[in-house]
Structure 1
Amino acid sequence: DLLYMNNQPSSNLEGIIAARMTGIKSLLHSRIETELNFFEVKAVNKWLTKMICVSEGVRESFLRQGIEPLKCSTVYNGIEAGIIPAIPPDEIRQELGLKGNELLIGSAGSLVKRKRFADLIKAMATFSSQNPEVRIQDKKNPPLPPFDKGGVGGFFNKIKCVILGDGSERELLQKEIEKNKLNDYVMLAGFKSEAISYINAMDIFILPSEREGFPRVVLEAMLMGKPVIASRIAGPLELIEEGRTGFLYNTGDVNTLSSHIAKLVSEPPLRKSLGEAGRKRVIENFSIEKYVSTVENNFAEVLKL
């Protein structure tokens, strides 16, 4: 009765055409901004019954390309509020080589170009050059004393950055780390099946992508009570309330990203308040129950058309 498809129109043209030819209803769940060609716009408008978009930003991007407004609606992704990370934060931090009161900044995702992890590495290089006292010390150098109130850290005297994930850009990112002499400071930890446990061990979460839909990883970070810094793109724009649950910056603006990092590092109470507000926002607005109910309503609506 109904063909349900995932992702962008370009990867589902066969399904759209097959549903049309066999006379059944079709519903496409689009999860990321993407450019459409003339034929794809025509296929969606003429043959697809309906499209669900994971964020208003994704929907608006399709409308700008000629998709009919009544053809697509927005259904935000949801997350299970009761998720319990399987690995304790202390174990994660020990695995990553952190000790005591060191602060952990992190990100997660496929190591591909659109994720722009090189921007995060460059921002950490800028931040560390302006605040050399925050670097993790190597064995040849004694640890630095804690910051005084006028310093950057407050309660932390060392910082480390970890990027979870694997992909085609790994070698390039490692070279960027080495070029900026950040080997003791920024690490590529590889793919982790229990990524949410690592996110739970972080103090600050960063999403530097140039294109997303409605990133679950940001939902996870906010649910874990972490302050989030993200690029100003579809998804984060609707998830993050600027200055209340996190900070936004223009994609590629490494200096502003570095400034946001410095602000959160220097203000532990702000990290706490942003994290608490973010967790509350996710629980109240992006529950898995609400998501399932809305998707089911769309199924019912399509079957009536």
Structure 2
Amino acid sequence: MDKIGGAQKHVEALAIKLKQDAHEVTIVTGLYDPSLWRLQAEKIDVISIPAMQRAIHLKKDLQSLWQLRAALKKIKPDIIAAHSSKAGAIGRVVGSLLGIPTVFTAHSWSFTEGVPHKKKILYSRMEKSVQTLTAKIITVSEYDRKLALTKRIAPAHKMLTIHNGIDQIDKRVAPNREKEEHPLIVMVARFEVPKRQDLLLEALAELSDIPWRLQLIGDGSLRPNLETFVANKGLTDRVSFLGNQLEVTSLLEDSHIFVLLSDWEGLPISIIEAMRAGLPIIATNVGGVNELVSDHENGFLMNRDDIDLLKKRLKQLLMDENLRQKMGDASERCFLRNFTFLPMYQKTLFVYEQAVSKSAKKGD
């Protein structure tokens, strides 16, 4: 949790609501930057285990396992809610060692389409090896549930889909969207694999004859190269790199078009935030994205690396204010109907309660 991402936001929101509902919550994470999160203000305990990292590293992974085991022996939780592939595997092993039921939430499988072949094989084997230690697997999209069934990761009765959800907001009376001289495009994503800010910048560089501005929100190792690209193309007056932003809501409300290009995804919270703000979406059709974006209804879907279609869709939305409004309204309606926080939270809590109850019966 030293970077902002969809899975981290999901964990934060769940933890805060659980704490507000009088549950005791402790978050155990790898690297942790408290300035990015509201956990301290909500008096939620956070334990950082720096050895826990994304890449597989046998020595550090064993360190993580034993440090997590020591922490959980002290906390004595009723349930472990594990998120992300690496922490998910370590959490389930420790849960099994300590006899604590574990629910795993897959935010996007590490063997999904677009992931390099060797990594796919490694992570699918790892998931199969720990699924027997799992009380329940929550997938955030139907795409991911069906993919896991196809790969025979776990039996159908052990998995269910709970779509991500976020809080509703009171919309501002007069957003700055109307004041913008040129249509403002925004992309919210880490500058890391699998995100493709590079593709968006390449497409926009070829649309310099029409008015647009771009804000890129997020940070990461790929950012410096893209800043150089923007400078070389003479686009520094049209492209803004805003870095990490704790509050993206007002920035989205001031924008006209939301873009998320990725090589793979789960169910992106950034798209849900854009839908809440009433924005038309252009996104890569990967993972569960088409469960959020209906092509030609609340936005446009495109295949990976299809820069020609990307340019065409960008131009359509940039040049047609009525289309932007129509698709943005459809986005907001879809959000209110399917992706608000409370139903997601209630379904997730019910899964946790069932896992605890089932474990208690086994103990009897």
For this structure pair, what is the TM-score category when the shorter chain's length is used for normalisation? Answer: 0.7 to 0.9
Paired with 2:126 and 2:251, the residues of 1 have a C-alpha distance of 43
1:241, 1:247 within 8 Å by CA — same for their partners in 2?
A: yes
Does residue 3 (structure 1) correspond to residue 55 (structure 2)? The answer is no
1:54 aligns to what?
A: 140
2:124, 2:153 within 8 Å by CA — same for their partners in 1?
A: no
Cα distance, 1:126 vs structure 2: 2.2
Match of 1:105 among 185, 192, 196: 185
1:72 aligns to what?
A: 159
Equivalent position amino acid for 1:52 in 2: I
Paired with 1:83 and 1:54, the residues of 2 have a C-alpha distance of 26
2:294, 2:300 within 8 Å by CA — same for their partners in 1?
A: yes
Instruction: Name the SS for the 2:147 alignment partner.
Output: helix
1:127, 1:259 within 8 Å by CA — same for their partners in 2?
A: no
C-alpha distance 40-198 of structure 1, shift in aligned 2 (>3 A): same
1:125 aligns to what?
A: 205
1:7, 1:30 within 8 Å by CA — same for their partners in 2?
A: yes
- TM alignment of 1:28-47, pairs within 5 A: 28-35=104-111, 36-44=123-131, 46-47=132-133
Percent identity of paired positions between Structure 1 and Structure 2:
26
Give the alignment's TM-score, normalised by structure 2.
0.69
Equivalent position amino acid for 1:75 in 2: I
2:283, 2:302 within 8 Å by CA — same for their partners in 1?
A: yes
Cα distance, 1:180 vs structure 2: 2.9
Match of 2:266 among 213, 235, 240: 213
Does residue 173 (structure 1) correspond to residue 249 (structure 2)? The answer is no
Cα distance, 1:239 vs structure 2: 0.4
Question: Which contiguous aligned blocks of 4+ residues in structure 1 show a shift greater than 4 angstroms?
Answer: none
Paired with 1:176 and 1:89, the residues of 2 have a C-alpha distance of 31
Does residue 235 (structure 1) correspond to residue 235 (structure 2)? The answer is no
Equivalent position amino acid for 1:7 in 2: S
Cα distance, 1:83 vs structure 2: 4.8
Paired with 1:204 and 1:216, the residues of 2 have a C-alpha distance of 16
Instruction: Name the SS for the 1:240 alignment partner.
Output: coil
Match of 1:81 among 168, 192, 206: 168
* Structure 2 unaligned blocks of 5 or more: 1-77, 112-122, 359-364
Deviates more, 1:35-44 or 1:159-168: 35-44
Cα distance, 1:280 vs structure 2: 0.6
Does residue 286 (structure 1) correspond to residue 333 (structure 2)? The answer is no
Instruction: Name the SS for the 1:166 alignment partner.
Output: coil
Cα distance, 1:170 vs structure 2: 0.8
C-alpha distance 189-14 of structure 1, shift in aligned 2 (>3 A): closer
Paired with 2:327 and 2:103, the residues of 1 have a C-alpha distance of 37
Structure scoring higher RCO (CA < 8 A, sep ≥ 6) equals 1
Equivalent position amino acid for 1:106 in 2: V
Q: Deviations over 1:254-285 (max 9, x none)?
A: 11111101111121111101000110110011
Instruction: Name the SS for the 1:171 alignment partner.
Output: helix
| C-alpha RMSD of matched pairs (Å) | 2.1
Does residue 182 (structure 1) correspond to residue 235 (structure 2)? The answer is yes
C-alpha distance 159-72 of structure 1, shift in aligned 2 (>3 A): same
Cα distance, 1:84 vs structure 2: 4.9
1:41, 1:65 within 8 Å by CA — same for their partners in 2?
A: no
1:21 aligns to what?
A: 97
Equivalent position amino acid for 1:77 in 2: N
Cα distance, 1:32 vs structure 2: 1.8
Instruction: Name the SS for the 1:251 alignment partner.
Output: coil
Instruction: Name the SS for the 1:206 alignment partner.
Output: strand
2:353 aligns to what?
A: 300
Instruction: Name the SS for the 1:67 alignment partner.
Output: coil
* Structure 1 unaligned blocks of 5 or more: 135-157
